[in-house]
Amino acid sequence: MKNIAIILAGGLGNRLGGDTPKQFKLLNNRRVIDYSIRIFEEHDLIDKIIIVCHKDWVEIIESEYKEHVIVTGGASRQESSFKGLKACVGNPENVLIHDAARPFLTQKIISSSINSLDKYQAVNTCIPSKDTIIIQKNNLIESIPNRKNILLSQTPQSFKYKTILSAHNKFKGDDLSDDIQLVNKIDIDCCNNKGSRYNIKITDNLDMEIAQMIINNRKIVE
């Protein structure tokens, strides 16, 4: 196998309320996670999909996606990602790690990520910041970095398999917020690829409303 997609769906997503984690909530009569699963399924270069799932949902997701590998998630995002990596078989060359709460991944982003791995060991997906970024300390402005140098990170984050596995082994227990930080800590050049403003991460109820509006006008999603 050359390219494996790892979809992280191990979190609780409490900010949406209710008993159902955000990645498993219904969006236009489909689970949020289903959108990214189907996009990866439809891409010709993806050989396998691994879903890292919240423990209470493993049996449900296994029954709905029998063709994919389902792994129980960990106590943190970093631990869940590591579990997904350890579930890879067949000595893959590349892995693409994606948040289940980002339903509007595109074929174009996947292709760009895989193509960039021909040159780089790590590839991030990101968009420019439209807003000024404020660094604060004690509720006061400490600095205002140049917006031209600020990017907002998305997923997938893509890696040579051996590179990201090595980074996880080296920084076990650090509990960083995403995988690109791990690779950056070992001084690997990380390429930034263009993401999409539609590649939103669903976090709260307003995001669900925005996601529904995107679906209602799906033709605008690139």
Instruction: Give residue for tokens 């539609």.
Output: 198
**Phi, psi dihedral angles at 129 (to 5 degrees):** -80, 130
In a domain, 91, yes or no: yes
Handedness of CA 135, 188, 167, 45 (dihedral sign): positive
* Coil, helix or strand at residue 145: coil
The domain in which residue 22 lies consists of: 3-125+153-220
In a domain, 88, yes or no: yes
In a domain, 130, yes or no: no
In a domain, 145, yes or no: no
Q: How many structural domains does the chain have?
A: 1
In a domain, 74, yes or no: yes
CATH at residue 209: 3.90.550.10
How many Cβ atoms are within 10 Å of 65's Cβ, its own excluded? 18
pLDDT at residue 14, rounded to an integer: 56
* DSSP codes, 43-101: -TT--EEEEEE-GGGHHHHHHH-TTSEEEE--SSHHHHHHHHHHT--S--SEEEEEETT
**Stated pTM of the model:** 0.94
Each residue's pLDDT expressed in tens, for the chain with a length of 222 residues: 799 999 999 987 555 556 789 999 999 999 999 999 999 999 999 999 999 999 999 999 999 999 999 999 999 999 999 999 999 988 899 999 999 999 999 999 999 999 999 999 999 999 999 999 999 999 999 999 999 899 999 999 999 999 999 999 999 877 788 999 999 999 899 999 999 999 999 999 999 999 999 999 875 454
* Single-letter code of the amino acid located at 134: I
